């Protein structure tokens, strides 16, 4: 009894396998970022990464079709790691930090965020003193582009927060980081519709 309680394994007993998801992450696990680059260039970035070991509290999954998925691993301190896979092979991993949230008071106010008069979809956005250029969108680079619409299914560890699905209207922007040639910082802006009267806009 005490051996089991304190983690002692009986001789010959195999440790239980840990199932990991895309990028090696798993719900209920933890992750820490190597912050050396940020510490060495404290003025270069518009955000700070989460510090220390960060528990993974939720997983968001987006099916882009053609065997391509986005796996969004949400951690405790308002950040998430996005792992893009194609045919179960990792294409890229990005870290995003929640920087600002706007709560439209009505459905009509929310709809205005996905219309041509909105900042969401403009060729350029300025945020925290930095200018970012739009990455997504067809047509002329100088014209407004409609945000990309898709659904995200969010799951949590058993016994925790209830799972849910939301609809995004998103746009991705980027800038080359000053003094770090070839390294880009991304600004992800998304209008989130949880329905029927629950929505927000997140930077």
* pLDDT for 175: 97
Q: Can you give 99-163 as a three-state secondary structure string? A: CCEECCCCHHHHHHHHCCCCCCCCCEEEECCEEEEECCCCCCCCCCCCCEEEEEEEECCCCCCCC
Average pLDDT, the chain: 89
* pLDDT for 15: 46
Q: Flag the least confident range among 12-26, 131-145, 164-178.
A: 12-26
In the chain, where the domains are located? 19-98, 99-146+164-203
Question: In this model, does residue 10 exceed pLDDT 60?
Answer: no
* pLDDT for 196: 86
pTM, to two decimals: 0.87
**Per-residue pLDDT reduced to its tens digit, 136-158:** 988 788 899 999 999 999 999 98
């Amino acid at each position: 009894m005490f051996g089991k309680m304190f983690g002692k394994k009986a001789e010959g007993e195999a440790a239980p396998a840990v199932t990991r998801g895309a990028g090696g992450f798993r719900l209920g696990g933890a992750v820490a970022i190597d912050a050396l680059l940020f510490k060495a260039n404290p003025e270069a970035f518009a955000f700070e990464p989460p510090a220390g070991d960060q528990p993974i509290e939720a997983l968001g999954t987006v099916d882009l079709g053609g065997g391509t998925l986005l796996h969004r691993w949400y951690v405790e301190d308002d950040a998430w790691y996005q792992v893009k896979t194609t045919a179960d092979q990792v294409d890229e991993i990005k870290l995003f930090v929640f920087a600002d949230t706007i709560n439209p008071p009505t459905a009509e106010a929310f709809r205005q965020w996905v219309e041509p008069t909105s900042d969401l979809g403009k060729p350029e956005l300025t945020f925290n003193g930095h200018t970012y250029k739009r990455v997504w969108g067809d047509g002329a680079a100088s014209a407004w582009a409609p945000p990309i619409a898709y659904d995200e299914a969010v799951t949590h560890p058993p016994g925790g927060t209830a799972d849910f699905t939301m609809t995004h209207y998103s746009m991705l922007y980027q800038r080359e980081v000053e003094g770090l040639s070839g390294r880009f910082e991304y600004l992800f802006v998304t209008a989130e519709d949880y329905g029927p009267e629950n929505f927000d806009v997140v930077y």
